[in-house]
Structure 1
Amino acid sequence: MPHDQLPRLHGYGVRWDAAADRYRVRNEITGEWLHSATGELAAFVFFGDAYSAWRAFEVHKRPGEK
């Protein structure tokens, strides 16, 4: 999906897509969006699920982590 066609989202890493009424996950280091196994932009109903996916997708040390 070209950058100019990405949905307008709010947040960092885990983003709310108001148009789809779902959370989306983005690797803020590389700019890559998380996609499902079918190749579509991954969507999550619950923030906790999206946050877990983001932590696995954007792997780096965060403040307070060893």
Structure 2
Amino acid sequence: MTHAHTPRRLHGYGVRWDPEGRCYRVRNETTGQWQHGADGELASYTSFTVAFDAWRVFEPPRRLGE
């Protein structure tokens, strides 16, 4: 699913709840792309904690003073 085809309900960055999928989705803050699994489908997480950990991998490094 490309950025142009991402459902409107999932616009944003970081960890988002997908009410239709009843799961959390993760968006890469550096590239703006949604995380996909090995099967090519949007990655889904049932636990916010696990989704947040996946999101932190994509979190851009903070600069000193920001």
- Which category describes the TM-score, using the shorter chain as reference length? 0.7 to 0.9
TM-score w.r.t. the length of structure 1 is: 0.76
Deviates more, 1:54-63 or 1:18-27: 54-63
In the alignment, structure 1 residue 3 sits paired with structure 2 residue 3 = yes
Percentage identity across paired residues of the two chains: 58
Partners of 2:34 and 2:62 lie apart in 1 by 19
Asked if the contact 1:25/1:33 (under 8 Å) is kept, the reply is yes
Asked if the contact 2:45/2:51 (under 8 Å) is kept, the reply is yes
Partners of 2:59 and 2:32 lie apart in 1 by 10
Asked if the contact 2:30/2:58 (under 8 Å) is kept, the reply is no
The amino acid that maps onto 1:25 is V
Structure 2 unmatched runs, 5+: none
Extract structure 1 runs of 4+ deviating beyond 3 A. Answer: none
Higher helix share: 2
Aligned residues: 64
Deviates more, 1:25-34 or 1:45-54: 25-34
TM-score w.r.t. the length of structure 2 is: 0.76
In the alignment, structure 1 residue 14 sits paired with structure 2 residue 18 = no
